[in-house]
Structure 1
Amino acid sequence: MRITGGIYRGRTVTCPPGIIRPAMDRMRESVFTILGSVQGLSFLDLFTGSGIIALEAASRGAEPVYAVEKDPGKKTILKKNLSIADQNVHLSIMPAERFVKTWKKPFDLVFLDPPFPYPFKADLLARVAASRLVHPSTQIIIHYPGEETLPDNLAIPRLEGQSSLPRFFQDDSHVSGNSTSPQNTSWTLTHTDTREFGRSLVRFYKPRAHTP
């Protein structure tokens, strides 16, 4: 695999053993074209696999960039791949679900590429949306099999142990013309775009505020 754009364009990335579905060049290039400039934006690559998506983001100027992979057997090759970005990509070896639950700071862009057999994609989306990974302008992107369906809108829930929505959703002052109390504002994760790549789809979501 090769990085498709940015300052590391053309650099080769090794695919670790056990990855049978590396992200296609066309899909990666198209996703970043849709996103536009990511310069200076924070980026999270969950289920990173080879690290290629994180490297595409770093190559285009995103920072900081975090890559999460649960399989410690991929660590050596991942570290070698990510060294292309001169230590500008931070690697966490842990299950994606644990990272979602424990991470405390938001990202501007969150990319999800779970294994195609992963059965909890909609639940994962909801949990990411309700976590501290997300602020009101975060964009979430998910790659998944074309034969599956994901909802167009997901209510952003209060997870177990949360008495309220994450603090990033408690200040609604950015909502134009909104003088309603934050307690009266509800949020959904709203589908904004879908693109087809062979037998797979990429969906884009953003949080959206709703006031009475």
Structure 2
Amino acid sequence: MRITGGIYRGRTVACPPGIIRPAMDMMRESLFSILGNLEGKSWLDLFTGSGCVGIEAASRGASPVHLVEKDRGKKATIQANISMVESEIKLFMADVHRFIPTAKCQYDIVYADPPFPMHGKVGLAESVDKQHLLTENGLFIIHYPSEEKGQWPQRIGNLVCYDQRKYGRSTLRFYRNTKETGETDVQGNGNDR
């Protein structure tokens, strides 16, 4: 796999052993084109796999970038992959469902790429909302198989869907956090809650 844009464009990312479904280059390129400038945006990559999407976010200016992966067999490869990143990037070896309630930060963007066979993906979005993981106007982006489209509501708590893109068998769905936090410092930087 290769990074498709930003300061690390063209760099190779290794695929770790075990079950993994790398985000297609075309889909990743489209995702980051939609998001635009990520300078100063904080990013959380759930089910990181190889770390490729998080590295792509860092390549395009996101900082800090936090990666979550529970498969310890992938740890060495992810750490080798993220060693190229000079900005703040951190790997958390944890189950996503345990990480979310204990997260110490809010993020501008939470990207989730759970295994396609996994059940309860809408519950994942509900947890992100309930635990206030997103900054005001923050984005939750989910990658899921297109045949699951019927189970995704327009609104999940404070998260409102504003865009969806299909790439073959895959769909990206974009939700915006509509809850006004009333806090003065809610922009980026993995803000402490």
On whether the aligned pair clears a TM of 0.5, the verdict is yes
Relative to structure 1, the CA distance from residue 96 to residue 86 in structure 2 (aligned partners, 3 Å threshold; closer, same or farther) is same
Equivalent pair of 1:105/1:132 in contact (CA under 8 Å): no
Match of 1:190 among 149, 152, 160: 160
Counterpart CA distance in 2 for 1:89 and 1:104 is: 15
Counterpart CA distance in 2 for 1:44 and 1:72 is: 18
Counterpart CA distance in 1 for 2:41 and 2:177 is: 17
**Unpaired runs of at least 5, structure 1:** 156-187
Match of 2:124 in 1: 124
Counterpart mapping for 1:137-156 below 5 A: 137-149=137-149, 150-155=152-157
Equivalent pair of 2:3/2:9 in contact (CA under 8 Å): yes
Name the SS of the counterpart of 1:84 in structure 2. Answer: coil
Counterpart CA distance in 2 for 1:118 and 1:204 is: 19
Match of 1:199 in 2: 169
Counterpart CA distance in 2 for 1:207 and 1:57 is: 20
Counterpart CA distance in 1 for 2:79 and 2:69 is: 11
Counterpart CA distance in 1 for 2:100 and 2:10 is: 32
Name the SS of the counterpart of 1:23 in structure 2. Answer: coil
Q: Give the number of the structure whose alpha-carbon radius of gyration is greater.
A: 1
Scaled by the length of structure 2, the TM-score of the pair is: 0.89
More deviation, 87-96/109-118? 87-96
Q: Give the number of equivalent residue pairs.
A: 178
Equivalent pair of 1:194/1:202 in contact (CA under 8 Å): yes
Equivalent pair of 1:47/1:69 in contact (CA under 8 Å): yes
RCO comparison, higher one (Cα < 8 Å, 6+) = 2
Counterpart CA distance in 1 for 2:42 and 2:87 is: 15
**Identity percentage over the alignment?**
52
Equivalent pair of 1:104/1:132 in contact (CA under 8 Å): no
Scaled by the length of structure 1, the TM-score of the pair is: 0.81
Counterpart mapping for 1:54-65 below 5 A: 54-65=54-65
**Unpaired runs of at least 5, structure 2:** 181-193
RMSD of aligned alpha carbons: 1.3
Relative to structure 1, the CA distance from residue 135 to residue 88 in structure 2 (aligned partners, 3 Å threshold; closer, same or farther) is closer
Question: Shift in Å at residue 209 of structure 1?
Answer: 4.6
